[in-house]
Structure 1
């Protein structure tokens, strides 16, 4: 099992971002999503991301990553005071490449389930 820190991947400065989740509805760039994830570590200071699967599709110039984000709400800064509750959230990233840089990333994530786990809804 390997945990990954949150950092901006090698991407175009104008890389786009999409997700069909209410929690990420206002985020349209990969840079903004990266900042959102960094900020999530304030209420979830033990947050980790475990990569479970990694696939490359050379014909379509994309990469898919399945992972699990884990964290416990012990820090300030969430939508409610710290609940002490934990979440284990499956997610998938699909990154479309332009050459060797990410041009677009889609996140597939059940935000409603995760927010319930944390006691945020």
Structure 2
């Protein structure tokens, strides 16, 4: 499978809340994660992040995404995905359900080695999303 195909399979599994078991085949052992977002400050592995996404979709039960771009930089071993996440707070969470919706843009930058994702950076303005949801 090409890096693009692997990245696409990972992206779709992650964004639909399938968790680590569905995402693991695309990832190298010990794959790391980074984001300059307070909501993800304690998340340092892709395993943790995929489980975080699984959990957030139990709170934003109608969560979905609109994929805007998907591109590969083979020289640097990177695949980037740009999307908008849309979700309404309908259940559970840090506060009682607000019924408010977020439409928040984000980018995944997935670094590959030997056909597997070794690291992913998420570029996301969590403060904007949390404010839209009424959580901040």
Over aligned residue pairs, what C-alpha RMSD do you find? 1.0
The gaps in structure 1 that reach 5 residues or longer are none
Residues 29-108 of structure 1: pairs in structure 2 closer than 5 A: 29-76=45-92, 78-108=93-123
2:127 corresponds to 1:116? no
TM-score normalised according to structure 2 size: 0.83
Match of 1:38, SS state, is helix
CA distance in 1: counterparts of 2:84 and 2:133, whole angstroms: 15
CA distance in 2: counterparts of 1:107 and 1:6, whole angstroms: 16
More strand by share: 1
2:37 corresponds to 1:21? yes
After superposition, what is the alpha-carbon deviation per residue over 1:21-40, rounded to whole angstroms, capped at 9, x for unaligned?
10000000001000000000
The gaps in structure 2 that reach 5 residues or longer are 1-11
After superposition, what is the alpha-carbon deviation per residue over 1:2-46, rounded to whole angstroms, capped at 9, x for unaligned?
xx4234260112100000010000000001000000000111000
CA distance in 1: counterparts of 2:60 and 2:48, whole angstroms: 18
> Which stretch of the first structure deviates more once superposed, 33-42 or 7-16?
7-16
Match of 1:82, SS state, is coil
Match of 2:97, SS state, is coil
More helix by share: 2
